[in-house]
């Protein structure tokens, strides 16, 4: 089904048309700097001359990772489910930033291992509870990968049908920095050790142990892997669902705000499978997780913000929403030299 989703090409001349409109606004040409580039990028992402930032929605995809049994995280796996309850209660950083930014939140159990109550507002994939331990065996079956991708794509297309214009990709999953590192290594050939960092708070000896565990996992499936094979080898459910959501959003003309280290790994996987979705992506921030710099450099991306954040949940993407909104409204609402009767550049 996912292969059947067509991603519309960027219309010919769209960037030049938006750039010309921006140049007619009452300001010295180029004086809004990267906000001007962002307005064009939003137009390209939505394949529209008049892109909109609202409504924007945060999707928080939560899941667990079997590799946590090896000791790759400073935190126990139960924290994933506990944080899902916190998201549902509105008390997490993502909830607070979403309220501050005027963004709706959807909480998604993409494959959490611990018990979660049936709760209104919790969307469930119902594929499986957690991945297998990728250091010992493949984390997901090909059918599970397919199901998670389809699930994410369907959620994004549902959001598009509700009129959502921008989807922010957030996640929660103890151990998912390990999975993200393995995916970036396998799909793009980036070196594994510099991709492996403290995640949610490992100390230096912990990072050294994490690297050894990740090397063992990578050795099980050596060499470059196709994106879906890499997801099967290493997981995880939330990353596959985010990759599916990105492709689903791109197919529906919805812009995707990519968040931090794990969200970017999902984008890497999605873009390896569907390069034509690249124009649909806006990159929100540079995470403090050291490997994020490598990923962004590999993608040739200079994100909007760099605030030393490394939380995930979509918090970096949420902080970028007001900037994206300002760019869209600049394009829609700013007067032109002509409409405002302001003189153009004169001679001496």
- Interface residues with ligand NCN (CB under 6 A) are 73, 75, 171-178, 199-200, 259-262, 287, 289, 292, 310-313
Task: Tell me if the bond preceding 236 is cis, omega within 30° of 0.
Answer: yes
Measure the CA–CA gap between 186 and 302, rounded to whole angstroms: 23
- Residue 14 or 200: the one with the smaller Cβ distance to ligand DMD is 200
CB closer to ligand NCN, 68 vs 271: 68
Contact residue for ligand DMD among 200, 207, 294, 301 (CB under 6 A):
200
Q: Is 289 in the site for ligand DMD (CB under 6 A)?
A: no
Nearest distance, CB of residue 199 and ligand DMD, angstroms: 8
Note whether 109 binds ligand DMD by CB under 6 A. no
Which listed residue (18, 32, 62, 83) binds ligand DMD by CB under 6 A?
Answer: 83
DSSP state, residue 285: B
Distance in angstroms between the alpha carbons of the first and the last residue of the chain: 63
Three-state DSSP at 114 gives coil
Residues 265/314, Cβ–Cβ less than 8 Å: no
Contact of residue 168 among ligand NCN, ligand DMD, none (CB under 5-8 Å per partner type): none
- When asked if residue 337 is in the footprint of ligand DMD (CB under 6 A), the reply is no
Residues 6 or more apart whose Cβ sits within 8 Å of residue 256? 45, 166, 167, 168, 169, 245, 246, 249, 250, 267, 280, 281, 282
Catalytic residue chosen out of the listed positions 78, 313, 333, 338: 313
The residues, ordered by sequence, that sit 6+ positions from 308 with a Cβ below 8 Å of its Cβ are 288
Least spacing, CB of residue 259 vs ligand NCN, in Å: 6
Q: How far is the CB of 339 from ligand NCN (least distance, A)?
A: 42
Residue from 260, 268, 266 nearest 315 by CA: 260
> Active-site residue 146, yes or no?
no
Residues in contact with ligand DMD by CB under 6 A are 75, 79, 83, 172, 200, 311-313
Catalytic residue positions, numbered: 313
């Amino acid at each position: 089904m996912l292969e059947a989703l067509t991603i519309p090409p960027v219309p010919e001349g769209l960037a030049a048309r938006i750039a010309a409109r921006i140049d007619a606004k009452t300001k010295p040409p180029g004086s809004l700097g990267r906000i001007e580039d962002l307005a064009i990028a939003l137009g390209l992402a939505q394949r529209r001359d008049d892109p909109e930032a609202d409504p924007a929605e945060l999707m928080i995809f939560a899941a667990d990772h079997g590799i946590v049994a090896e000791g790759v995280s400073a935190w126990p796996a139960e924290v994933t489910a506990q944080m899902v309850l916190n998201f549902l209660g509105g008390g997490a950083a993502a909830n607070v930033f979403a309220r501050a930014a005027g963004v709706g939140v959807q909480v998604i159990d993409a494959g959490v291992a611990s018990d979660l109550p049936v709760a209104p507002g919790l969307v469930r994939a119902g594929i499986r509870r957690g991945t297998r331990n990728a250091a010992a065996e493949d984390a997901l079956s090909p059918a599970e990968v397919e199901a998670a991708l389809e699930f994410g794509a369907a959620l994004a297309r549902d959001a598009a049908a509700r009129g959502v214009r921008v989807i922010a990709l957030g996640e929660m999953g103890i151990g998912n920095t390990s999975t993200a590192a393995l995916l970036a290594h396998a799909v793009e050939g980036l070196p594994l050790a510099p991709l492996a960092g403290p995640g949610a708070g490992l100390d230096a000896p912990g990072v050294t142990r994490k690297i050894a565990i990740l090397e063992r996992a990578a050795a099980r499936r050596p060499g470059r892997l196709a994106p879906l094979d890499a997801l099967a080898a290493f997981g995880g459910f939330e990353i596959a669902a985010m990759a599916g959501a990105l492709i689903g959003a791109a197919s529906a003309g919805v812009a995707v705000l990519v968040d931090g280290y794990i969200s970017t790994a999902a984008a890497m996987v999605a873009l390896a499978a569907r390069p034509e979705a690249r124009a649909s992506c806006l990159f929100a921030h540079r995470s403090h997780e050291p490997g994020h710099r490598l990923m962004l450099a590999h993608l040739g991306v200079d994100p909007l913000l760099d605030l030393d954040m490394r939380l995930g949940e979509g918090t970096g993407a949420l902080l970028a929403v007001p900037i994206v909104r300002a760019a869209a409204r600049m394009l829609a609402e700013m007067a032109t030299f002509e409409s405002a009767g302001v003189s153009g550049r004169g001679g001496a």
